Amino acid sequence: MYRILLFGLSMFAVSAVSADTVTSPDGRLVVEVSVNGDGAPLYSVMYDGKTFLQPSSLGMVANTGDFSRGLSMSAKSGIKNVSDSYSLPGIKKSHVNYVANEQWFTFAKDSQPVFELQLRVADNDVAFRYRMLPVRDTRSAVIKDEITGFSLPEGTVTFMAPQSKPMGGFARTSPSYETPYGVDEPIGRNGWGEGYTFPCLFKNPEGGWTLISETGVDGAYCGCRLLWDDSAGSYKVGFPQEGEMNGLHSVTPGIPLPGFTPWRIITVGNSLSPIVETTAPFDVVERKYEPSRDYTYGKGTWSWIIGMDGATNFDEQLRYIDFAAAMGYNSVLVDALWDTQIGYDRVEELARYAKSKGVGLYLWYNSNGYWNDAPQGPRGIMDNAIARRREMKWMHDNGIRGIKVDFFGGDKQPMMQLYEDILADANDYGLLVIFHGCTLPRGWERMYPNYAASEAVLASENLHFSQGSCDAEAFNATIHPFVRNTVGSMDFGGSALNKYYNAANAPGGSRRVTSDVFALATAVLFQSPVQHFALAPGNMTDAPAWAIDFMKEVPTLWDETLYVDGYPGKYVILARRHGDMWYIAGVNAQKDPVTVNLPLSMFAPGQAVTVYSDDSSLNGQVKQLKIDKKQRLRISMPCNGGVLIKGNKL
Ligand code: CA
Cα 464 to middle of ligand 1, angstroms:
12
Cα 349 to middle of ligand 1, angstroms:
28
Could you say which DSSP state residue 316 is in? H
Q: How far apart are CA 368 and CA 435, in angstroms?
A: 13
Is the pLDDT at 10 greater than 60, yes or no? no
Cα 74 to middle of ligand 1, angstroms:
48
| CB 154, CB 51: distance < 8 Å | no
445-469 pLDDT, tens digit per residue, is 999 999 999 999 999 999 999 999 9
Cα 24 to middle of ligand 1, angstroms:
39
Give the 3-state secondary structure of residue 498.
coil
Listed as own residue / partner, the contacts of 30-37 with beta carbons closer than 8 Å and 24 or more positions apart are: 30/121, 31/119, 31/121, 31/126, 33/58, 33/73, 33/103, 33/105, 33/117, 33/119, 34/5, 35/71, 35/72, 35/73, 35/107, 36/7, 36/10, 36/12, 37/7, 37/12, 37/13
Cα 456 to middle of ligand 1, angstroms:
7
| CB 437, CB 336: distance < 8 Å | no
Cα 445 to middle of ligand 1, angstroms:
20
Cα 174 to middle of ligand 1, angstroms:
10
Cα 437 to middle of ligand 1, angstroms:
4
Cα 568 to middle of ligand 1, angstroms:
22
Cα 162 to middle of ligand 1, angstroms:
16
Alpha-carbon dihedral sign for residues 269, 275, 278, 282: positive
Cα 460 to middle of ligand 1, angstroms:
8
The pLDDT confidence band at residue 324, using thresholds 50, 70 and 90, is: very high
Cα 170 to middle of ligand 1, angstroms:
10
**H helices, E strands: number in the chain:** 15, 38
pLDDT of residue 13: 37
Cα 600 to middle of ligand 1, angstroms:
36
Cα 403 to middle of ligand 1, angstroms:
15
Cα 455 to middle of ligand 1, angstroms:
7
The pLDDT confidence band at residue 150, using thresholds 50, 70 and 90, is: very high
Is the pLDDT at 8 greater than 70, yes or no? no
Mean residue pLDDT across the chain: 96
Average pLDDT over residues 311-340: 98
| CB 481, CB 181: distance < 8 Å | no
Is the pLDDT at 129 greater than 80, yes or no? yes
| CB 183, CB 479: distance < 8 Å | yes
Cα 9 to middle of ligand 1, angstroms:
50
74-125 pLDDT, tens digit per residue, is 999 999 999 999 999 999 999 999 999 999 999 999 999 999 999 999 999 9
Give the 3-state secondary structure of residue 304.
helix
Cα 356 to middle of ligand 1, angstroms:
31
State the amino acid at position 353 in one-letter form: Y
Cα 639 to middle of ligand 1, angstroms:
27
Cα 459 to middle of ligand 1, angstroms:
7
Cα 338 to middle of ligand 1, angstroms:
18
Average pLDDT over residues 300-314: 98
Cα 461 to middle of ligand 1, angstroms:
7
Cα 544 to middle of ligand 1, angstroms:
29
Cα 15 to middle of ligand 1, angstroms:
53
Cα 415 to middle of ligand 1, angstroms:
17
Q: Residue 95 class from Cβ within 10 Å (0-12 exposed, 13-18 middle, 19+ buried)?
A: exposed
Cα 75 to middle of ligand 1, angstroms:
47
- Report field, pTM of the whole predicted structure over 0.85: yes
Cα 191 to middle of ligand 1, angstroms:
20
579-592 pLDDT, tens digit per residue, is 999 999 999 999 99
Could you say which DSSP state residue 510 is in? -
Strand partners, 265: 127, 213
Cα 407 to middle of ligand 1, angstroms:
8
Cα 19 to middle of ligand 1, angstroms:
46
pLDDT of residue 57: 98
Q: How far apart are CA 302 and CA 320, in angstroms?
A: 7
Average pLDDT over residues 533-552: 98
Cα 183 to middle of ligand 1, angstroms:
22
pLDDT of residue 264: 98
Cα 173 to middle of ligand 1, angstroms:
10
Cα 493 to middle of ligand 1, angstroms:
10
The pLDDT confidence band at residue 432, using thresholds 50, 70 and 90, is: very high
Q: What residues have a C-beta under 5 A from ligand 1, the ion?
A: 437
Cα 178 to middle of ligand 1, angstroms:
7
Q: For the chain, give the percent of residues with pLDDT over 70.
A: 97
Cα 231 to middle of ligand 1, angstroms:
35
Cα 436 to middle of ligand 1, angstroms:
6
Average pLDDT over residues 614-622: 98
Cα 316 to middle of ligand 1, angstroms:
22
The pLDDT confidence band at residue 4, using thresholds 50, 70 and 90, is: very low
Cα 177 to middle of ligand 1, angstroms:
9
Is the pLDDT at 2 greater than 50, yes or no? no
